[in-house]
Amino acid sequence: MKKRPSARKNEKAHDAVFKAFFSDAKIAQNFLLHYTPAAVHKQIDFSVFRKIDTAFVSGRFGIAFSDVLYEARLANGGVARLLFLFEHKSYIPTFPVHLQLLDYLLQIWEDDIKNGRPLSVIIPIVVYHGERGWAQKPFWGYFSDLPEDWRVFVPNFHYLLTDLSQIPQQVIEDKKESEYLVKVLLALKFARDKRRINENKRKILTFEEPFFKDSREGILIQILTTYLFKITDMSSVEYKELKKDSSKPPQQVIDFIHEIFGDEVPRFIREEWEEEAKRKGLKEGLEEGLAQGLKQGLAQGLEQGLEQGLEQGLEQGLEQGLEQGLEQGLEQGRMETMHAITLKTLQKFPDWTDTEVAEFVGATVKFVQKARLEMAKDQ
SS3 of 307-324: HHHHHHCHHHHHHHHHHH
Provide the pLDDT for residue 248: 52
Q: How far apart are CA 39 and CA 41, in angstroms?
A: 6
Residues 135, 30 within the same domain = yes
pLDDT by position in tens, the chain (length 379): 444 444 555 677 788 788 888 888 889 999 999 999 999 999 998 888 888 876 666 666 654 555 788 888 888 876 556 667 666 777 777 788 888 888 888 888 998 899 998 888 888 888 888 888 888 899 999 998 999 999 999 998 999 999 998 999 999 999 877 788 999 999 999 988 888 888 888 788 776 654 445 566 767 777 888 788 777 766 666 666 655 545 455 555 555 555 545 554 545 455 555 555 555 555 555 556 556 666 666 666 666 655 655 555 555 655 665 566 556 655 666 677 778 778 877 887 777 788 877 877 778 888 888 888 888 777 6
Range(s) of the domain holding residue 88: 5-196
Asked if residue 270 belongs to a domain, the reply is no
In terms of domains, do 176 and 301 share one?
Answer: no
Vertex 87, ends 52 and 97: CA angle to 5°? 130
Q: Is the domain of 58 the same as that of 148?
A: yes
Say if residue 210 is preceded by a cis peptide, omega within 30 of 0.
Answer: yes
Half-sphere exposure of 327 (CA within 13 A, CB side): 6
Helices (H) and strands (E) in the chain, counts: 15, 5
Burial of residue 35, with CB atoms counted within 10 A of its CB: 0-12 exposed, 13-18 middle, 19 or more buried: buried
Calpha distance 132→146 (Å, rounded): 27
Which residues, at least 6 apart from 44, have a Cβ–Cβ distance to it below 8 Å? 32, 72, 73, 74, 75, 82
Instruction: State residue 87's pLDDT score.
Output: 67
Task: Examine the domain organization and report whether 190 and 291 are in the same domain.
Answer: no
Q: How far is CA 192 from CA 25, 123, 343, in A?
A: 27, 28, 51
One domain, residues 316 and 168: no
DSSP assignment of 41-85: HTTEEEEEEEEE-------TTS----EEEEEEEETT-----EEEE
Q: Is residue 23 part of a domain?
A: yes
Asked whether residue 239 is assigned to any structural domain, the reply reads: no
Is 97 within 8 Å of 115 (Cβ atoms)? no
User: Residue 170 falls within a domain, yes or no?
Assistant: yes
Which residues pair with residue 88 across a beta bridge?
127
| Residue 44 maps to a domain | yes
Please check whether residues 62 and 181 belong to one and the same domain: yes
Count CB-CB contacts under 10 A for residue 37.
8
Looking at the fold, whether 288 and 175 belong to one and the same domain comes out as no
Instruction: Annotate 48-74 with b (16+ C-beta within 10 A) or e (fewer).
Output: ebeebeeebebeebeeebbbbbbebbe
Domain end (from 196, 221, 254): 196
Domain end call among 170, 196, 222: 196
Is 247 within a domain? no
How many of the other CB atoms lie within 10 Å of CB of 347?
A: 9
pLDDT given at position 268: 44
Number of domains in the chain: 2
Neighbours of 368 (CB within 10 A): 25
User: Which pLDDT score is estimated for 240?
Assistant: 64
User: Within this chain, do residues 283 and 192 fall inside the same structural domain, yes or no?
Assistant: no
Question: Does residue 290 share a domain with residue 157?
Answer: no
Given 3-state DSSP classes, what are the helix, strand and coil percentages for the chain, each rounded to the nearest 5? 60, 10, 30
Q: Which of 196, 217, 234 is the last residue of a domain?
A: 196
Indicate whether 290 and 189 sit together in one domain.
no
Contact between 346 and 287 (Cβ < 8 Å) = no
What pLDDT score does 340 carry? 77
Beta bridge partners of 49: 72
Residue 233 covered by a domain? no
Tell me, yes or no, whether 202 lies in a domain: no
Q: What are phi and psi of 372, to 5 degrees?
A: -65, -40
pLDDT the model gives residue 367: 86
Which amino acid is residue 229, in one-letter code? F
Stretch (H or E) spanning 193:
none
